[in-house]
Amino acid sequence: MNQLIAHQRVVKRKRRKERRLAEKAAKFAAAPRPGQLPADVAFTREFRRILKEPRFLAGPKALYIIGAIVAAFCLLLLLSNGFDRSVAGIGGGLGTFPRDAGIDTLLDLYLSPGKSPDDGAGDIMPGGKMLMSYDPVTYVVERGDTVSGIAEKFDLDMSTIISFNGIDNVRRLLAGVEIKVPPVDGVMHLVKRNESLSSIARSYGVDLEPILDINNIDSEIIHEGDKLFVPNAQMSSVAYHKAMGDLFVYPLRGVLSSGFGMRKDPFTGLMAMHRGYDIVARVGTPVEASNEGRVIYTGENSLYGKYVLLSHQGGFQTLYAHLDKWLVSEGQRVAQKQKIGLVGNTGRSTGPHLHFSIYYNGDALDPGKYLYY
């Protein structure tokens, strides 16, 4: 009997021990593991999607792979950027330039830094105190009048009428405007800093006495900003042709696809300054010099492809880019309308065309204000 009771107690203790072990196991299974959220915490589907760990990211091996991919991408980006930034260099090996600024930044640095002393002779410069002692004749422009006709009427040279009145475009002469007519041929000169009557006479190649006489000057004291009439002087060729509107000609005939000014870059889609004209034409179409001058550079780079840069009298330069072939060499003198290259599709181009720019002392000008056919 005693043995039976003892056996039952052992069985009960064993069962209680098994129940306690089973309860502990159940609690352990239900408890959250490190990094695991409790089952009773409520999250939205979006949070569950974000917090769920993708299987392909699990493990250190995947991290090594991802790191290698990122490193390779960064290296590729660096190499491609360096390639785009490196250029053949205008005139050969002038270095690199910012990718977003383009060749124009480089051109601004290496184009003509200023005019020679005689380049400005006869430039049209309105303003200032007039020193001329003779009263000019006043003529009111009538409908149908031209500068050449007015000059012929008073037996004067056209350049005298242009210079004396500061006419910057003879084609925009309006009826009703008053024209001042001097008694003799000459040029109206705006006195610049450190200039003297002697230096002005030398720059125009005339005698000093007529200048003193017609301006009623009894000493060589003049001031910056004074307007001085120089009899028998001639306007500079640049100033004259600029007023006549025939300083530059179109380098070729074609369709204008992009003008001067801000535009959306065809490659980046961002607004950027376009410093010239894009003229569409077939590959191989001859490109002519817009004005007589000298070939400064012939080069090639990743942006403008093959290009030619010309220098002209008076601080002007012209650029011809995306060429298929050069027809001139550096240092060569060229005449206006002389063939200097052929239209191509080289460099950063969306199709066969010529990029044409006009610069004045390094500043880009709107070609539409200077070009004629």
Q: Report the top-level CATH class of 137-235.
A: alpha beta
Over the range 338-371, which residues count as b (16 or more CB within 10 Å of their CB) and which as e? eebbbbbebbbbeebbbbbbbbbebebbebeebb
Nearest to 258 by CA among 309, 189, 339, 322: 322
pLDDT at 313: 80
Tokens at 26, concatenated: 């159940």
Nearest to 345 by CA among 320, 321, 325, 322: 322
- Element holding 231 (H helix, E strand): strand 227-231
Q: Report the top-level CATH class of 103-113+248-372.
A: mainly beta
Q: Where are the domains of the chain?
A: 55-85, 103-113+248-372, 137-235
pLDDT, one tens digit per residue, over 102-160 is: 455 555 554 544 443 334 444 444 444 555 556 789 999 999 899 999 999 999 999 99
pLDDT at 276: 87
145, 173 contact by CB (below 8 A): yes
Rounded distance between C-alpha atoms, residue 266 and residue 275, angstroms: 15
pLDDT at 91: 33
DSSP per-residue codes, 110-130: HS--S--TTTTTT-----S-B
pLDDT reading at 99 higher than 80: no
Residue that wins the pLDDT comparison between 183 and 21: 183
